[in-house]
Chains A and B, each alone.
Chain A
Amino acid sequence: MSVQTDTGNSTDSVWASDARRYLRGLGGLAVFLVVWWVGALLTQPSYLIPTPTESAVAFSELFTTSTEIVVPVVDTNLVLPTGVAHLTETLFHYVPGLLIGAVCGIGLGLTMGWSGRLDDWLRPLIRLLRPIPPLAWIVFAIVWFGIHHTGAAFIVFVGAFWINFYGAYGGVEGVSSELTDAASTLGVDRDLSMLKLVALPSAAPQILTGFRTSIGRCWMIVVGAELFGAPGVGYEIINASNNLAMDTSVAYMLLISLAFLCMDVGFRLFERRLLTWR
């Protein structure tokens, strides 16, 4: 593949424009690295901004050293490379919080979007609860569950709940009445069948978008919860900075970014497969 612009063939020019785009992206990254490097070298005291190389070394150390963590519920110990160990700790509350929050949010969103009466009952309550930032619930997480996996999972749950709730609610509200009319002339006469056969598939794009958004939002929330002391990568960020090991903090930040990117890309692929009809 070449970067030449004067090829007559259209597939060639698509390739060329793709290649140009990637090169520009790499260029942007390179410029950022240089600015970072120069900035880090010029800043005193030097620990304020670690250099890219220091950060890279710290990142590699996440995989060359190992750490022992406790697996909750089964209560066994596990020795893993340090970075993987702390990421796993985070996932111990991130994954349950996200999944339970998504299931509850989508469930309530579907029923409320579908049933006008339930909507009337709950709308003011939801208006009132919705603006509360998930992290504000940390006080209850602490007094109810203690600031450990369960407490952090609770905070993630709150965050995942609202995003998924609105995805499903909006999706079901947007189901065209023409489609439900068509379905009822074709013999769909129960609410549950209508929900399953028309509302759910019709709302699927919005539900999936809601879930994908919550994957990212919950990473922000989980790190916030860990800054209060729950074990995981967020805790390691603040722990390292307390020792002025800012390069290690940067390494963990990078780790979070990579973990999020993997999940996001994975989910996008899944989404595309599920929504081929669009």
Chain B
Amino acid sequence: MALNDSPSAESDSTAKITVKKVSTAYGSGQEAVQALSEVSVSVDDGEFCCVVGPSGCGKTTLLRTIAGLETPDSGSVLVDGEPVTGPGLDRGMVFQEYALFPWRTVRGNIRFGLDRPACGCSDCERRVRKLIDLVGLDGFADSYPKALSGGMKQRVGIARALAVDPEILLLDEPFGSVDVRTRDRLHAELLDIWRETDQSVVFVTHDIDEAVMLADRIVVMDSEPGTVQSVHSVDLSRPRDRTTTAFVDYVARIRDELGSPTETGC
């Protein structure tokens, strides 16, 4: 698929998501912080796109803007050519700190989006059971989030987002608080799910290694004032192996670009 390195990503008709010259500032006057400055990105249909960059580079703001949880000061976000005006069921979101409803069981959390009247699904119960199965939580359907480990919580978060069958999956550093071994397994599971569902994925992370492991394309962002620095296609076959030279090269190249090699992991 076409690569949209250039800031003028406007007239791409095949894009699932088009972010056009989006600028967002927090605060006002002297203390205003420019989170995003004329950011343009596009994500193709069915593409797995990772956004990396140091903390404070606006990557989470970018994701939240695509989700419709933030309104940009200028510029626009288009999904299938239609401007985004607020959150919608076509865009599922997975949160960094899980954001599970603690008063609902695993089943209840996954069901949340299906209980809306807007959802006409006639066999919700079966769908929920399939999702519990898909994320490997059978046996925990009636547990409350407090009883789950971080990895399990995020599985629920993913299943909950998938329940309404969104065309786009947005993930905000979803595995940041999960231990390394669990993270590797979750990566593999997420890729399996993605292959099965044909969704377009935007995955925000500060971990370059994670981005190279997952992405078709990596958008590198730079802080101050939140701009897209470069875009890389990752031409590695899956499953990917961190120890291959090609993999290491990708990681090194992006790390170099982000500047000081010791700090980019943060």
Residue ranges of A at the interface with B (Cβ–Cβ < 8 Å): 176, 178-179, 181-189, 197-198, 201-202, 204, 275-278
B69→A186 contact, CB < 8 A: no
Rounded to whole Å, the gap between the CB of B202 and the closest CB of chain A is 13
* Chain A interface mostly: helix
B93 neighbours in A (Cβ, 8 Å): 181-182, 185
**Given the complex, which residues of A lie within 8 Å of B102, measured CB to CB?**
202, 277-278
* Cβ-closest 10 pairs across A and B: A186-B113, A182-B99, A187-B116, A178-B99, A185-B93, A277-B144, A184-B87, A201-B103, A277-B103, A185-B87
Excluding A182-B160, A186-B160, A278-B102, 14 further A-B contacts by CB distance (< 8 Å) are A179-B99, A181-B64, A181-B69, A181-B95, A182-B101, A183-B112, A185-B69, A186-B112, A186-B113, A188-B116, A189-B86, A189-B87, A204-B103, A277-B144
Q: Contact between A198 and B69 (Cβ–Cβ < 8 Å)?
A: no
For window 96-128 of chain B, which residues contact chain A by CB distance below 8 Å?
97, 99-105, 112-113, 116, 118-119
Chain B residues engaging chain A, CB cutoff 8 angstroms: 64, 67-69, 86-89, 91-93, 95, 97, 99-105, 112-113, 116, 118-119, 144-146, 160-161, 164
B104 to chain A: which residues have CB within 8 Å? 277
Main secondary structure on B side of the interface with A: loop
Most interface-central of A178, A181, A186, A275 (chain B CB within 10 A): A186
Separation of A146 and B144 alpha carbons in the complex (Å): 51
- A201: chain B residues at CB < 8 Å are 101, 103
Contact A278 B97 (CB under 8 A): no
Q: Once the chains bind, are A186 and B97 in contact (CB under 8 Å)? A: no
How far is B60's CA from A178's CA once the two chains are assembled, in angstroms? 13
Q: Are B116 and A185 in contact (CB under 8 A)?
A: no
CB pair A181–B99 under 8 Å, yes or no, is: yes
Chain A residues with Cβ below 8 Å from B146 are 277-278
Nearest B-chain residue to A187, judged by Cβ:
B116
Given the complex, which residues of A lie within 8 Å of B92, measured CB to CB? 185
